[in-house]
Structure 1
Amino acid sequence: MEPEPLFDLEPAGTAGPDFAELARLPFSELMAPDWAEALSGVEAELRSVLSFLAAEEAAGRRVLPSASNVLRAFRQPLKGVRVLIVGQDPYPTPGHAVGLAFSVDAGTRPIPRSLANIYRELESDLGLPPRIHGDLGAWAEQGVLLLNRVLSVREGAAGSHRGKGWEAISTAAVTAVAGRRTADGTAAPLVAVLWGKDAESVRPLLGSTPVVASAHPSPLSASRGFFGSRPFSRVNALLREQGACPVDWEIPAVP
């Protein structure tokens, strides 16, 4: 089922909200209600980051992803998250970043090499065919939180928005996911997937959450432990151990 729109967007063919407009919206309109409650303690930090992005935009610097998508990871309800996959920062190539770690717009060709390596491992692990598109929205709709440590980037400048405040937001988000409890007080089912050193930095926030860790799928490191790590089958085994349903990792041929 499609999530509710975050904003009252303009009619098709017109521009969505810019970052200045985003910074002025009520907090409850920026994300799913339970995420807004969970992240209320870092509202000031989030508004500060959005104001920074508005200033970047006003200075003529293109920010990726768009304002409509920068908080997309928080559209699906917090209560439904069962897998956390931690990324670094968005793709700095125009048209690639869509607000979900590792995912790209369905029309992007070719897909980024890191994502191609993820598909290669998905086929090796579960026998699922790689797709020509890179839209991972089907995973997000099943409760897979595709969360970058830093949620924006300046066009063409990888890592350019590190240290601007996003780390506090993603830290609070990981803490909220790992801290959920069921009605009887036990930890809610969750598996964390940590690919690379940046992702490993959140491990102290995870408590007793089961972790599947390996090298990053980047072409620079995939051959040093990502290939052959079988993360998808391992995640599903750990979910079953917690009494949760496994994820259907198959990406639809047409998103």
Structure 2
Amino acid sequence: MPNGGRLFAAFRQPMDAVKYVLVGEGPYPRPDSATGVCFMDGAVGSLWSEKGLSKQVNRATSLRNFMKMLLVADGQLSVEQTTGEAMEAVSANARVAPDRIIQTLPELEANLTAQGFLLLNASLVFRAHVAPAKDAKAWLPFLQIVLSALADNAEVKGRTPPTLVLWGKIAVQLDALPANARFPRRVAEHPYNLSFIGNQSMQDFFAPMHLLQK
């Protein structure tokens, strides 16, 4: 689980800045990787290597597939070819343009934050002896409070509530919450599935954000 006081790290995003609530499953099982922010693996520094994505990114399967989906959405990769020489070429272009292309995972997180993402997990803890879906169910009352507060804040400010972006079956458990009905939604398979790379809905959603650019 996230250590070092990082359990609620995602809530550094000010409420008025939240435009999207991205919900994953749970923290990475490795302490160094669990940052309290979904999909942001604390063990990852550089995004790129000579062979494509860095070894640390490739180890974090969900992050790897998310990166490849962004590259497809940006027109830098073909969904039919997201490995081998195609990735080497993308990486080479990125590494020679650090003034235009982000180089590290903290830069990607900063871009997501700037776009207004609240990066939550359905469960804020990982316990090896408990199924993630069971832990996530226990956190539903907490998430009901979070979502209600976000919807109430938007209503007071005369704004549309943030868009819920739910990745995977565990995140979709939020459908059981009364507050869920107050939000526009985007739903996709979890990014640890290879099919996520070719998810057209996710490509269309993220393409205008240009998250890989500075």
TM-score by length of 2: 0.67
In the TM superposition, what is the alpha-carbon distance from 1:176 to its structure 2 partner?
Answer: 2.2
Q: Which amino acid aligns with 1:79?
A: D
Tell me how far apart the structure 2 counterparts of residues 208 and 187 of structure 1 sit (CA, whole Å): 12
Tell me how far apart the structure 2 counterparts of residues 171 and 177 of structure 1 sit (CA, whole Å): 10
Instruction: Kindly report which structure 2 residues correspond to 1:1-255, keeping only aligned pairs within 5 A, or say none.
Output: 64-105=1-42, 106-107=44-45, 109-111=55-57, 112-127=60-75, 133-135=104-106, 136-138=108-110, 139-154=112-127, 159=132, 162=135, 165-181=138-154, 186-203=158-175, 204=177, 205-218=179-192, 221-223=193-195, 227-231=198-202, 233-234=204-205, 247-250=209-212
Tell me how far apart the structure 2 counterparts of residues 201 and 164 of structure 1 sit (CA, whole Å): 7
RMSD of aligned alpha carbons: 3.2
Tell me how far apart the structure 1 counterparts of residues 123 and 103 of structure 2 sit (CA, whole Å): 26
1:98-122: CA deviation from partner (whole Å, max 9, x where unpaired): 1111111243851201110000001
Tell me how far apart the structure 1 counterparts of residues 185 and 148 of structure 2 sit (CA, whole Å): 14
Q: Larger relative CO (CA 8 A, sep 6+): 1 or 2? A: 2
Q: Residue 186 of structure 2 aligns to a residue in which SS? A: strand
What percent of counterpart residues are identical? Answer: 28
Aligned residues: 176
In the TM superposition, what is the alpha-carbon distance from 1:226 to its structure 2 partner?
Answer: 5.4
Larger helix proportion, structure 1 or 2? 2
Q: Residue 66 of structure 2 aligns to a residue in which SS? A: helix
CA contact (8 A) 1:78 1:177 kept: yes
Shift of the 141–158 alpha-carbon distance from structure 1 to 2, 3 Å rule, reads farther
Q: Residue 181 of structure 1 aligns to a residue in which SS? A: helix
Q: Residue 104 of structure 1 aligns to a residue in which SS? A: coil
CA contact (8 A) 2:27 2:123 kept: yes
In the TM superposition, what is the alpha-carbon distance from 1:222 to its structure 2 partner?
Answer: 3.2
User: 1:56 matched to which residue of 2?
Assistant: none
Q: Unmatched 5+ residue regions in structure 2?
A: 47-54, 77-89, 92-101
In the TM superposition, what is the alpha-carbon distance from 1:88 to its structure 2 partner?
Answer: 0.9
Q: Which amino acid aligns with 1:150?
A: S
1:101-147: CA deviation from partner (whole Å, max 9, x where unpaired): 11112438512011100000011112466777433421124320110
Larger deviation, residues 124-133 vs 146-155: 124-133
